[in-house]
Amino acid sequence: MQVAITVNGVVHERDVDPRTLLVHFLREELDLTGTKIGCDTSQCGACTVQLDGKVLKSCTLLAVQADGAEVTTIEGLAENGEHHPMQTAFWENHGLQCGYCTPGMIMASAAFVRDNPGASEGEIRHYLEGNICRCTGYHNIVKAVKQVADAAAGA
Amino acid sequence: MSTRIFGSGIKRREDPRLITGEARYTDDIKLPGVLHMAVVRSPYAHANIVSIDSSAAEAMDGVVAVYTGDDLEGLAGLPTAWLIPDSDLKTPEHPALAKGKARYVGDGVAIVLAGDRYQAQDAADAVVVEYEELPAVIDPEEAAQEGAPLIHDDVEGNIAFKWAPFDKEASDAVFEAADVVVSERILQQRLLPTAMEPRSAMAQYNPATAELTLWCTSQNPHIHRFIISAVTGLNENKVRVIAPEVGGGFGSKIPCYPDEALVSWAAMQLGVPVKWTETRSENYLITIHGRDHVQHVDMAASSDGKILGVRATVYAGMGGYLSTAAPGIPTILHGLLYVGPYTIDSVYCESIGVMTNGTPTDAYRGAGRPEATFLLERMIDNVAKKIGMDPAEVRRKNLIPAFEDGYDVAAGLTYDSGDYPVAFEKALGMAGYGEFRRQQKSAAAQGRYLGIGVTAYTEMCGLGPSQVAGAVGFQGGLWESATVRVTPTGKVQALIGASPHGQGSETTLAQIIADELGFAVDDIEVIHGDTTETPMGWGTYGSRTTPVTGAALAKASQKLKEKAKTLAAHLMEASEDDIEYADGSFSVKGSPDQTQSIQDVALMAHLAWNMPEGMDPGFEESQFYDPPNFVFPFGTHIAIVEVDSETGEIELQRYIAVDDCGPQINPEIVAGQIHGGVVQGIAQALCEGVIYDENGQLLTGTMMDYCMPKADMFPNFELGETVTPSPHHPVGVKGVGETGTIASTPTVYNAVLDALAPLGVEQIDMPLTSAKVWQAIQDANGGGS
C-alpha cells in the first residue's frame, strides 16, 4: 500500500506491506534506528514516538495507519542543533545508563511535561508506568523529568 | 591545587549519542544483502523430535535455506566454560540445534534464512515438526529425585554436579552443640534478566580471506571470539567479534548462545551476511534465567545471639543445558559467601546442580551472592525471633570489627578491607531505627502493620585473581589489559579489553586517566568492544571493570607519567630529581617559568628529535593487570514498609542504602549503579518470578505476564556512603555493580515479614505479591477467609 508519512518534518512516500509495523517502517525503511523495540507487547515503551503530537508506541500501530500523519522520533526532537530540554535534563541528571529505553523515555516525558507543566513526583512516577527501564531504578529519570516539569511551570 | 577529576560527578561522556538516538546497537547495523534468520523452536519442554518437514517453508517467498540439527556439519556444540573441580561434573552435549530431542520450550530445532524478518518468521511457522512429548520436570529438587524424567542420558539422575567443599562433621558438631537452631526452606525463584535490548547477532564471512566478523550483544567479545573460533573451527585470528552499543546485560550477555554460533555458521555456508534479533518472547524463552535455587538452610546460634554456624543444601536448577558459566554460580560464587560480614566460624554448603526442562540458567546480576546473602539475612531474622532479640542487635553483635588489610573467614576467602560497624550504624542512624520501632508499636495499636528490614552485607567482586580462577575450574583468566595511547597532538585513546554496556565506564575510566596524567576528560576516548581494535580482556561482569580494567589503566598511565617526567627533564635540561608535576604540567624546581605540559611531552615523544639516551619514541603504554585478590565492597541497607492487612498490598515507604565501594571515581555513576541494583533486588522480593506450568510451559513469557518493576513502585532512595579503600588496588576502588541487587532482596523481604509478624505470618515464598501476602494472612488466622 502507498503511504505518505511525515517524519521529523520530511514527507516519505513508500509502498509498504500492509502488515508493516510503524516501528519497522521507521527503523528499516527510513533507517531511523533511534526508536527501539524492547517487548513486542506494548509494555516497555522503548518504541515511543509522537504522532501528531500525541505519545504513541510505534510497535502498536501499522505504518498504513500513520498515512498522512506527522511523526516525531528521537532524531527529530532537537531543534536548531540544540538538545530538547528533556534530553539535556536526562544528561545532567544521569537519567540513563545503557541508553536503550532512553529515546522512548525522552519522547514520552517530553510530551507529558508539555501537557502537564509542574507535574508532581507522584504524577511523574505514575505516568512513567508505560516506560520500562532496567538500569536506573527510575530515580534519576524521575529527577530529570521533574526538573523539566518544574522549569515548565515556572515559565 | 585544582579540583580532582577523580571523585567528581561529571556528566557521562556516553550520553550525547544515547539521548539523540544516534547510538548504534547490533540490530541498528545494516549490511547490504543481509539475510534474516528465524529459529523454529520446540513448543514442548521435553520431546523427541520425530520428523521435520521443511518443504513448504523452503518454497516460500524470500526463503534461501532451511537447516536442521543434522545439517550443521562442522559446527561443534556450545561448551561449558566453568568446570568445577571435585564435583563429579557432567557436561552434556549442547548442540546449536537440538538433535533427536528438545529439552526446554524454546530449544532450537531448525533455522530459516530469508530476505527479511517477516518472511523468515512466516517460513519458520511453516516448518512442520512432529514431536513425541515426554514428561517434563522444572523444579530442581524434584528433578533430583529418583524416578524423575531423565533429561540427558549421560547425566545420571539429572545431577550435573555436587559441590561440598567444607567439613561436614565439624559443621554437624557445631549444630549439635548449639543452644538454638533455626531452619527454613527458601525458594530463590527463577528471574528473567530482561536487559532492555534483546539479544542480536549478525555475521559476515569473507571466503577469500576466511575471516568472520560477528556483531553481537556481548559483555565479553574476547570470550565470544574464543568460543566462536572453537565451535566454527576458524582460527581465532580470523574471527573478529564486535560488541557495538550494548543495551544492558546483567549477566545475560556473558554466555555464548546457539544463535550466535548459528548466524556465524550460516554466513559461512551462504557467503552472505546473516542477522538474527530475538523478540522479547524469544528472550524470555531462550536467554538465560537467573537464580532458581531450592535451599534447605539451618543456622546455629547461642541463646544470647552469637551466630555459630550456617549450613545449606542447595538444589540449583541448571535448565536443559549447562550454560557457559552456569556451574560456577551456585558454587564458587555462592557457598564461599556464607560468612557475610559476620564472625561466623562454621559454614557448610552442599550445592547440587540439577538438569531440568527449564531455560538454561547462568549469571544474573549478583550471581550466587544474592542467594547467599538472602539466606544469611533471612536466617538471622529467624534467630532474632527465636531468642527474642531485636534483629539489628543480633547483627551488631556478630559484625566483624574493622580491618584494613586482610581478614580470613571460615568460608576460605580473605576479605580485603572493611569497616562494617560504621556503615551499619550510619544506616541505622539515617533510618532512625529506634524511633521507627516506637512508631511501629503505636501504629500496631491502630491496626496498621509497619515493618523494617536490615541487611548488612559484603560480597566478593572485581573477579578476580587468575590463579584462583584456575583453581576453581574457570576456563579462562580473569585479568584485564589496557593501552593508553596518546596522539602527537596530545589526545588520548584508551583501549580496553573489557566491554561496558551501560555502566558509564567511558567516563569513569577516563577520570582515572585524567587524574593520573592531567589530560582533560574530554580529550580521552575509551575504546572497547572490538576484538581487533582492543587488547585482550575477559569482559565486563562480576563488578570487575572498574577494579580490574581501572587498575590496568592507572598503572599504564603511571608508566606514561614516568616516561613523561624523564623526557621533560631532558627537554628542560634539568635533573629528573628537580622535576615537579602538577595538573598535567612538569616544571623545574626553582624556575617555575620553565614548563613542559603533558601535551608538549607527547608531541616531543612522537617527533623523537631529542630523546634521552636509551628512550624509545612514541607515547603509549600497555598494562596487563591480574588482581592479587578480589575486592569486597560492603554496607547496610534498610527498608521500611507498610502492609495493608485487608488487601495484602505492600507499600515501600523508605529505602536507605549505605554502601562502601572505596573511593568513588564518579559519585553520580555510583549512585546510579546502586539505584538500579536496588530496584532489581526489590523486584525479586516483591513481584518478579518465572512461572512454569506442570508441563514446563513458560506462563510468564511476555512483559504482560512477567512483572517488571515500574517507576511508581518506589520512593526516592536515600543513599549514604563510607569510604574504605581496598589495600591491594592501585587507586583503592572496589566494584559496585551488584551490591544493590545483593543487599536489597532480603532487606525488603525481612521488612515485610517484620510487618506481618503480629499477624502470625512466618514465611512466604517470593515474590511477595499481594495475593500471596493476603493468603498468608488468611492462613495464619485459621485458614481461609
Domain ranges of chain A: 2-76, 85-154
Tell me which DSSP letter residue B77 carries.
Answer: P
- pLDDT value of residue B784: 47
CA distance A57 to chain B (A): 15
- Reported as type and span, the H/E element at residue B434 is helix B433-445
Q: pLDDT at residue B43 above 80?
A: yes
CA B57 to chain centroid: 39
Q: Give chain A positions within 8 Å (CB) of B246.
A: 98
B 498-557 near A (Cβ less than 8 A) = 501-504
From the list A20, A134, A141, the residue facing B195 with the nearest CB is A134
Residues B201 and B280 in one domain: yes
Determine the average pLDDT of the residues in B493-507: 98
A138 in contact with B at a CB cutoff of 8 Å? yes
Among B672, B701, B725, which Cα is nearest to B106's? B701
- pLDDT value of residue B119: 97
- pLDDT value of residue B464: 87
- pLDDT value of residue B782: 77
Q: Which residue, of B286, B304, B334, is where some domain finishes?
A: B286
If you measure CA to CA, which chain A residue comes closest to B199?
Answer: A38
Residues B263 and B121 in one domain: yes
Kindly report, residue by residue over B364-418, the tens digit of the pLDDT: 999 999 999 999 999 999 999 999 999 999 999 999 999 999 999 999 999 999 9
By DSSP bridging, strand A10-15 and strand B634-643 are unpaired
A 109-128 near B (Cβ less than 8 A) = 121-122, 124-126, 128
b/e map of A100-126 (b: 16 or more CB within 10 Å)? Answer: bbbbbbbbbbbbbbeebeebeeebbbe
Q: Give chain B positions within 8 Å (CB) of A17.
A: 118
Please indicate whether, in this complex, the C-beta atoms of B19 and A133 are within 8 angstroms of each other: no
CA distance A14 to chain B (A): 17
Residues B276 and B213 in one domain: yes
Helix axes A102-115, A85-92, angle to 10 degrees: 120
Q: Which residue, of B571, B594, B625, is where some domain finishes?
A: B625
A 78-97 near B (Cβ less than 8 A) = 78, 83, 87, 90-92, 94, 96-97
Indicate the pLDDT class of residue B546, thresholds 50, 70 and 90: very high
- CATH topology for A85-154 is DNA polymerase; domain 1 (1.10.150)
| Most A-contacting residue of B196, B250, B679, B745 (CB-CB within 10 A), to test interface | B196
DSSP per residue, B521-574: GGGEEEE-SBTTTS-----S-TT-IIIIIHHHHHHHHHHHHHHHHHHHHHHTT-
Dihedrals φ, ψ of B558, to 5°?
-65, -35
If you measure CA to CA, which chain B residue comes closest to A93?
Answer: B11
| Most B-contacting residue of A100, A101, A133 (CB-CB within 10 A), to test interface | A100
Ramachandran sector of residue B366 (left: φ over 0; alpha: ψ -120 to 50; beta: rest) = left
What's the CATH code of the domain at B720? Answer: 3.30.365.10
Instruction: Give, in degrees to the nearest 5, the angle at Cα B149 between B147 and B153.
Output: 105
Mean pLDDT (chain B) is 97
- Reported as type and span, the H/E element at residue B682 is helix B667-686
Please state, in angstroms and rounded to a whole number, the distance separating the CA atoms of residues A114 and A72: 15
Please indicate whether, in this complex, the C-beta atoms of A138 and B245 are within 8 angstroms of each other: no
Its domain, for residue B537, covers 479-625
Ramachandran sector of residue B332 (left: φ over 0; alpha: ψ -120 to 50; beta: rest) = alpha
- pLDDT value of residue B593: 87
Please indicate whether, in this complex, the C-beta atoms of A132 and B710 are within 8 angstroms of each other: yes
Please state, in angstroms and rounded to a whole number, the distance separating the CA atoms of residues B175 and A30: 68
Among B347, B690, B731, B201, which Cα is nearest to B512's? B731
B710 in contact with A at a CB cutoff of 8 Å? yes
CA distance A34 to chain B (A): 4
Among B256, B253, B223, which Cα is nearest to B324's? B256
CA distance B197 to chain A (A): 6
The answer to the question of residue B698 being in a domain is yes
If you measure CA to CA, which chain A residue comes closest to B703?
Answer: A43
Q: Give chain A positions within 8 Å (CB) of B15.
A: 90-91, 96, 99
Residues B417 and B513 in one domain: no
Q: Give chain B positions within 8 Å (CB) of A75.
A: 20-22
Q: Which residues, including other chains, have CB under 8 Å from residue B308's CB and lie 6 or more apart?
A: B174, B178, B300, B301, B302, B344, B345, B346
Please indicate whether, in this complex, the C-beta atoms of A137 and B717 are within 8 angstroms of each other: yes
Please state, in angstroms and rounded to a whole number, the distance separating the CA atoms of residues B114 and A99: 30
Residues B323 and B371 in one domain: yes
Cell numbers placing B93: 552435549
DSSP per residue, B606-625: HH-SSPPTT--SS-EEEEEE
B 164-193 near A (Cβ less than 8 A) = none
Kindly report, residue by residue over B237-268, the tens digit of the pLDDT: 999 999 999 999 999 999 999 999 999 999 99
Q: pLDDT at residue A155 above 80?
A: no
Number of CB pairs, chain A paired with chain B, less than 8 A apart: 177
- Number of domains making up chain B: 3
Residues B267 and B367 in one domain: no
B28 in contact with A at a CB cutoff of 8 Å? yes
Kindly report, residue by residue over B597-641, the tens digit of the pLDDT: 999 999 999 999 999 999 999 999 999 999 999 999 999 999 999
Q: Give chain B positions within 8 Å (CB) of A31.
A: 30
What is the number of residues in chain B? 785
Kindly report, residue by residue over B431-480, the tens digit of the pLDDT: 999 999 999 999 999 999 999 999 999 999 999 899 999 999 999 999 99
Decide: B358 and B190 in contact? Cβ < 8 Å.
yes
Indicate the pLDDT class of residue B1, thresholds 50, 70 and 90: very low
The answer to the question of residue B2 being in a domain is no
A 46-75 near B (Cβ less than 8 A) = 46, 73-75
What is the number of residues in chain A? 155
Determine the average pLDDT of the residues in A91-118: 98
- CATH topology for A2-76 is Ubiquitin-like (UB roll) (3.10.20)
Please state, in angstroms and rounded to a whole number, the distance separating the CA atoms of residues A3 and A115: 29
If you measure CA to CA, which chain A residue comes closest to B740?
Answer: A137
Kindly report, residue by residue over B712-723, the tens digit of the pLDDT: 999 999 999 999
Decide: B419 and B722 in contact? Cβ < 8 Å.
yes
Residues B613 and B648 in one domain: no
Q: pLDDT at residue B3 above 70?
A: no
Q: Report which residue type is found at B607.
A: L
Cα Dmax for chain A = 47
| Most B-contacting residue of A134, A142, A148 (CB-CB within 10 A), to test interface | A134
Q: Give chain A positions within 8 Å (CB) of B9.
A: 94
Please state, in angstroms and rounded to a whole number, the distance separating the CA atoms of residues B305 and B701: 44
The answer to the question of residue B183 being in a domain is no
At residue B588, the 3 state secondary structure works out as strand
The answer to the question of residue B581 being in a domain is yes
The answer to the question of residue B156 being in a domain is no
Cell numbers placing A137: 531504578
If you measure CA to CA, which chain A residue comes closest to B194?
Answer: A134
Residues B367 and B389 in one domain: yes
Q: pLDDT at residue A144 above 70?
A: yes
Please state, in angstroms and rounded to a whole number, the distance separating the CA atoms of residues A83 and A106: 11
The rounded percent of chain B whose pLDDT value lies above 90 is 98
Q: Which residue, of B599, B625, B651, is where some domain finishes?
A: B625
Determine the average pLDDT of the residues in B480-486: 98
pTM above 0.95, yes or no: yes
By DSSP bridging, strand B650-660 and strand B718-721 are parallel
- Reported as type and span, the H/E element at residue B180 is strand B180-188
Residues B223 and B316 in one domain: no
If you measure CA to CA, which chain A residue comes closest to B9?
Answer: A94
Please indicate whether, in this complex, the C-beta atoms of A137 and B676 are within 8 angstroms of each other: yes
Q: Give chain A positions within 8 Å (CB) of B20.
A: 34, 74-75, 77-78, 83, 87
B704 in contact with A at a CB cutoff of 8 Å? yes
Decide: B538 and B476 in contact? Cβ < 8 Å.
yes
Ramachandran sector of residue B185 (left: φ over 0; alpha: ψ -120 to 50; beta: rest) = beta
Determine the average pLDDT of the residues in B206-228: 97
Q: How far apart, in Å, are the Cα atoms of B347 and each of B310, B615, B632, B655, B746?
A: 5, 55, 19, 30, 20
Ramachandran sector of residue A58 (left: φ over 0; alpha: ψ -120 to 50; beta: rest) = alpha
Residues B593 and B669 in one domain: no
From the list A35, A74, A101, the residue facing B196 with the nearest CB is A101
Q: Give chain B positions within 8 Å (CB) of A78.
A: 20
Determine the average pLDDT of the residues in B761-766: 97
Torsion of CA B378, B384, B387, B388, to 10 degrees: -140
Cis peptide before B157 (omega within 30 of 0): no
- pLDDT value of residue B785: 44
From the list B281, B676, B704, the residue facing A97 with the nearest CB is B676
CA distance A155 to chain B (A): 24
Among B542, B537, B516, B541, which Cα is nearest to B527's? B537
> To which residue does cell 533471612 refer?
B378
CA distance B672 to chain A (A): 6
Please indicate whether, in this complex, the C-beta atoms of A98 and B30 are within 8 angstroms of each other: no
CA distance A23 to chain B (A): 12
Decide: A100 and B197 in contact? Cβ < 8 Å.
yes
The rounded percent of chain A whose pLDDT value lies above 70 is 99
What's the CATH code of the domain at B128? Answer: 3.90.1170.50
Q: pLDDT at residue B693 above 50?
A: yes
Please indicate whether, in this complex, the C-beta atoms of A73 and B196 are within 8 angstroms of each other: no
- pLDDT value of residue B2: 53
Q: Give chain A positions within 8 Å (CB) of B11.
A: 91-92, 94
B671 in contact with A at a CB cutoff of 8 Å? yes
CA distance A154 to chain B (A): 23
Residues B662 and B639 in one domain: yes
Residues B527 and B418 in one domain: no
Helices within chain A (DSSP H only): 22-24, 85-92, 102-115, 121-127, 139-154
The answer to the question of residue B493 being in a domain is yes
Determine the average pLDDT of the residues in B269-285: 98
| Predicted complex ipTM | 0.98
Tell me which DSSP letter residue B70 carries.
Answer: G
Cell numbers placing B393: 542487635
Please indicate whether, in this complex, the C-beta atoms of B245 and A141 are within 8 angstroms of each other: no
Decide: A43 and A132 in contact? Cβ < 8 Å.
yes
Helices within B86-245 (DSSP H only): 117-126, 140-143, 168-177, 221-232
Please state, in angstroms and rounded to a whole number, the distance separating the CA atoms of residues B437 and B426: 17
Q: pLDDT at residue A31 above 60?
A: yes
From the list A74, A75, A98, the residue facing B247 with the nearest CB is A98
